[in-house]
Chain A
């Protein structure tokens, strides 16, 4: 079994689950179990120590209340299904990560953040309540008032408190399925951070960094700010369907690309083209389909095969705002000098997170992906030192390799999390390879 990054691989027994009612018995009779949704976490978070509960069968929506736009679904429901059903009806999920092929259970476990985290927080902030199947098979309703400790441990808790059976959360009303996008060109990292600061009032904002540019243009970026387009804005686009539907994957990579294809020259050429194209659009506002704005990579199904059979590592850190410029400069500089091409890196501003192990914390987050090679491990270890020194941390949903020291330095509420696992008995039933590796 492997995660989306295809590294690492571990043996784990897959257990299918088709009915919510079957959860209790399965959970109570196992140890070393972890829930798995659509397998989009990159590393070993959704690989059970002994067995892995495949939750995709828990894919039924339970109810939608239009009066306050709350939706209750089983945890295996995919974000793509929610979008397909609710965008045409004028609703959008409160928070979406970079792919729509994730389940609601996974979004809670990872407390996923989106391009609106600086304004709206993580997915967990919009969850009203959920049912959690605990260690003994008991089903507990958790909210900010019922079992709040368990609620805040489960949000961002990487499945280590139990199996989410179903969850209720709020959707946001939208006037159209289009995003009004503004593009800002930043010539270097300083400008990029400034631009993210300036676009803080925008609902969505994110920067795409060219990781290969060095020296004076280290960190040159395109910053995309976005708002859900109003009907007035849409009126300027004759013929545009208000809730334009679009099919999911259009193109699937049928095979693994050879690793030599991703090298400094090819990535640099791609980045150059990308930036020129972006710069041409800058300053003009444009309407972008929601699917392309939020999920550009979903257009290439199985894009993880870009990196060849050995897989890839995603490195996503967050560092506090105060020292962000020198720290992120240092990180980008290491990457640029190493010549380990990442297509594009993503930079964005985060607010605080509420779960005990939630990744987001106030500051800037940088995400890069890199093919698995020996040198890359060493490079990332060096970069982790910079992150730790700055008081930052790594995103567990993407992690496949950080050391226990890096993890413990970054997550200050770890002790409370471990204590809760002990008290509820979760530590004896729920364990992923990630939990083992990091000693959670």
Chain B
């Protein structure tokens, strides 16, 4: 397949959503840069995408917790991508996070600090160029803190606010900033869970939605993959705190 001269940077390439997203872009003729923590695992995804599509796929080693390397990374990413999608996330274990500072910190840093710093840095380069699309994968869990996963939810809420502010600042600069909230997704992370079918998307569905919104311009700046999540979360957000605190949602 011949390239169309555009490049995607996918951060978190070994996740199911990341993999599906990179594949959708490659199928559309994009070149792909895959970044992830484990080089051989990322290489496996790169080989897969290039065998399936014939696309040019490059691999970068990058750990979202090693923020000290971000400036170097953005400096060497060449060519500067047209679109950067960060799907990095880690659910962690809420009960463990309540007892172990280190585990809680890991969840916060993986879901908020790392993605926010990296996307912020990329946004600077994009703004200097005057074009580009930044896509951050946040979560419906960030829409309201819940007993079952508030450490993760708080970090995602932070990312949502960060992306919102970034979008606000870069409005009119030629750089678009999107926030995607996938809801439940059938992935390795949720393999053992029983998920409601109506609310649960396949990784490919998430990827198609990301591509459609980021490149087709359809949909707003904040995207719920399955539309039903928007009214649902509106309801959940509007439950008064005195009542909400007694609920187990």
Contact = CB atoms under 8 A, between A and B. Distances in A.
A60 B48 contact: yes
A350 to B, nearest CB: 31
Interface stretch (B50-58, B124-132, B175-183, B241-249): B50-58
Contacts of A64: 51, 54
**10 nearest CB pairs, A to B:** A61-B51, A60-B48, A85-B52, A64-B51, A61-B48, A63-B51, A61-B52, A62-B47, A60-B44, A63-B47
A23 interface: no
B147 interface: no
Contacts, number: 30
A85 B44 contact: no
A321 to B, nearest CB: 40
A71 interface: yes
A323 interface: no
Interface in A1-48: 16, 18-19
B194 interface: no
A73 B44 CA distance: 11
B188 interface: yes
Residue among B48, B52, B54, B191 with most chain A CB within 10 A: B52
B54 A60 contact: no
Interface in B112-152: none
Interface residues of A, number: 16
Nearest to B1: A89
Interface string A79-90: 001000100010
Given A62-B48, A63-B51, 20 more contacts: A16-B191, A18-B188, A19-B41, A57-B188, A60-B44, A60-B47, A60-B48, A61-B48, A61-B51, A63-B47, A63-B50, A64-B51, A71-B51, A72-B51, A73-B51, A81-B52, A85-B51, A85-B52, A89-B1, A89-B54
B48 A85 contact: no
Contacts of B45: 60
24 contacts: A16-B191, A18-B188, A19-B41, A57-B188, A60-B44, A60-B45, A60-B47, A60-B48, A61-B51, A62-B47, A62-B48, A62-B51, A63-B47, A63-B50, A63-B51, A64-B54, A66-B54, A71-B51, A73-B51, A81-B52, A85-B51, A85-B53, A89-B1, A89-B54
Contacts of A61: 47-48, 51-52
The B interface, classified by DSSP as helix, strand, loop or mixed, is helix
B117 to A, nearest CB: 29
Contacts of A18: 188
Residue among B41, B47, B48, B50 with most chain A CB within 10 A: B48
A269 B22 CA distance: 49
A60 B57 CA distance: 15
Contacts of A62: 47-48, 51
A54 to B, nearest CB: 10
A289 to B, nearest CB: 20
A61 B46 CA distance: 10
Interface residues of B, number: 13
A91 to B, nearest CB: 11
Contacts of B1: 89
A19 B52 CA distance: 19
Interface in B1-56: 1, 41, 44-45, 47-48, 50-54
Contacts of B53: 85
A244 B53 CA distance: 17
A62 B44 CA distance: 7
A73 B49 CA distance: 12
Nearest to B45: A60
B53 to A, nearest CB: 7
B185 to A, nearest CB: 16
B40 to A, nearest CB: 9
A61 B45 CA distance: 9
A23 B1 CA distance: 33
Contacts of B41: 19
A82 to B, nearest CB: 9
B50 to A, nearest CB: 8
Nearest to B51: A61
Nearest to A73: B51
Contacts of B50: 63
B119 to A, nearest CB: 27
Interface string B156-167: 000000000000
Interface in A47-65: 57, 60-64
Interface in A63-120: 63-64, 66, 71-73, 81, 85, 89
Nearest to B48: A60
B204 to A, nearest CB: 11
Contacts of B44: 60
B141 to A, nearest CB: 24
Contacts of B47: 60-63
A63 B52 CA distance: 8
Contacts of A66: 54
Residue among B41, B51, B188, B191 with most chain A CB within 10 A: B51
